[in-house]
Amino acid sequence: MRRDDIRRLEGVADRAWPAAEVWPGPGWEARFADGMHRRINSASVWEAADLPDVVRRIEQWYARRGRPAIFKLTDASAPGLDEHLAGRGYARDALVQIMTASLDGTLPDPTHPVDLAAAASEEWMDAFAGMSGYGPERRRLLGEVLGRIRLPAAYAALREGGAIASVGLAVAEGREAGLFEMATAPGHRRRGMAGSVLAALLEWMARRGAAVAYLQVLEGNEPAERLYRGAGFETRYRYWYRVPPGWLSTMPR
């Protein structure tokens, strides 16, 4: 994918999953939120005339918020950024694939009925948090993140025996729409539920006029990757984080 396209799609994904505070610089952006996700607690640096100075200023911005700086990198990041951060002791963390699929043409039909709602209910959030093994703090933070989404969204829920067994979220902005929070309760996996949720969300995206669906999947998450490849998604580029030593121990539970 071209450098400009990566930068643009990263912007779309960052707006779909909004931080509480954004510091837009000339050639960089730092995002902050009291939240568990790295995307909304990380800085992207695309261009910097004085890279060490920009990194130092971003570190200070996070320090004023009581947080260590985390950087999100792609192949389109400022040249030398990865090496510079490595030299300052930052460790590489979480390689993530960005996959896209065209929404033109025939889309798969859901094999199970799926409900779509424009906002997240407490039940939906409890179901996702339960499937994901979130403790109370992460569940609270999830509510905060989802409460910030202002773009058109569809919260999908597939029920079995009245209870939500599989979920997913779509957020649309113009010709692109992103998929987030796909999960099936462990006892219900490999029965086509996520496939149905995915099909219902792709159909919602196409109906809204989106042309391209995008999603993020952690490298090595084979079940998810196979699910997405089966629905026509292809890997377009990757991103990863540079985190300061000891950062993972600060993740909320």
The values of phi and psi at residue 93, to 5°, are -145, 140
Query: Are residues 28 and 46 in contact, defined by beta-carbon separation less than 8 angstroms?
Result: yes
Q: Does 98 engage in binding with ligand COA (CB under 6 A)?
A: no
H or E segment and range at residue 226: helix 222-230
Q: Which is nearer to ligand COA, 60 or 221 (CB)?
A: 221
16: contact with ligand COA by CB under 6 A:
no
Report 159-188 residues binding ligand COA (CB under 6 A). Answer: 166, 182-184
> For residues 26 and 106, which CB has a smaller minimum distance to ligand COA in the complex?
106
Cβ proximity to ligand COA: between 46 and 237 the closer is: 237
Q: How far is the CB of 221 from ligand COA (least distance, A)?
A: 5
Instruction: Tell me whether residue 41 or residue 196 sits nearer to ligand COA (CB atom).
Output: 196
For ligand COA, give the closer residue by CB, 183 or 212: 183
Q: Choose the binding region for ligand COA from 59-67, 91-99, 113-121, 221-229 (rule: CB under 6 A).
A: 221-229
Near ligand COA in 108-147, by CB under 6 A = none
CA distances from 11 to 5, 15, 18, 19, 191 (A): 10, 6, 10, 12, 35
Helix-, strand-, coil-residue percentages of the chain, each rounded to 5: 35, 30, 35
Q: What is the CA radius of gyration of the chain?
A: 18
- Structural contact between residues 214 and 6, judged by C-beta atoms closer than 8 angstroms: no
* Residue with Cβ nearer ligand COA (221 or 250): 221
Compare residues 62 and 214 and give the one whose CB is closer to ligand COA.
214
Burial class (CB in 10 A: 0-12, 13-18, 19+), 65: middle
Q: Does residue 252 belong to the site contacting ligand COA (CB under 6 A)?
A: no
Q: Name residues contacting ligand COA, limited to 22-81 (CB under 6 A).
A: none
- 100: tokens are 């896209």
**Measured distance CA(239)–CA(223) in Å, rounded:** 20
Task: Determine if 217 is a binding residue for ligand COA (CB under 6 A).
Answer: yes
Binding mask 188-207 for ligand COA (x = CB under 6 A): -xxxxxxx------------
Q: How far apart are CA 68 and CA 153, in angstroms?
A: 31
Angle between helical axes of 122-132 and 136-148 (0-180°, round to 10): 130
Closest distance of CB 206 from ligand COA, Å:
19
**Sites of contact with ligand COA (CB under 6 A):** 166, 182-184, 189-195, 217, 221-224, 226-227, 230
